[in-house]
């Protein structure tokens, strides 16, 4: 894999270019694309077993504008969606994982 990376001219062209990590508004792609490791089904919402709370997070321009714990999943999702509307200008609700 390392050899493929080193010999790929396209990869080398963008190597070390941090602008590839953000969209045109300066929002990190990691904040707006759901990871395959996401278990809650909602970007920026996670569950902490130790505290038995749900957490909502949103990073905007390199700093957390939302990092708060909630008793219920629904409250955390609502907070994340409100922050997305405020900071990212999103009007559609975040897609939730279906079982």
CATH code of 82's domain = 1.20.5
- Segment 12-31 shows an average pLDDT of 66
The tokens for 84 are 């997305």
In Å, how far from its chain's centre is CA 22? 11
Q: Give residue 30's pLDDT.
A: 62
Q: Count of domains in the chain? A: 1
User: Greater confidence, 34 or 41?
Assistant: 41
Per-residue pLDDT of 43-99, as tens digits, reads 899 999 999 999 999 998 889 999 999 999 999 999 999 999 999 887 554 444 444
- Segment 19-42 shows an average pLDDT of 71
The answer to whether residue 99 is domain-embedded is: no
Q: Which domain holds residue 66?
A: 27-88
């Amino acid at each position: 894999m390392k050899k493929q990376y080193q010999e790929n001219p396209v990869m080398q062209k963008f190597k070390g270019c941090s602008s590839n990590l953000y969209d045109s508004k300066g929002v990190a792609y990691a904040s707006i694309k759901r990871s395959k490791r996401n278990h809650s089904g909602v970007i920026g919402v996670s569950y902490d077993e130790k505290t038995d709370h749900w957490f909502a997070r949103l990073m905007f321009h390199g700093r957390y504008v939302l990092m708060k714990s909630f008793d219920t999943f629904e409250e955390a999702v609502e907070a994340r969606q409100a922050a997305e509307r405020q900071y990212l200008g999103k009007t559609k609700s975040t897609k939730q994982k279906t079982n």
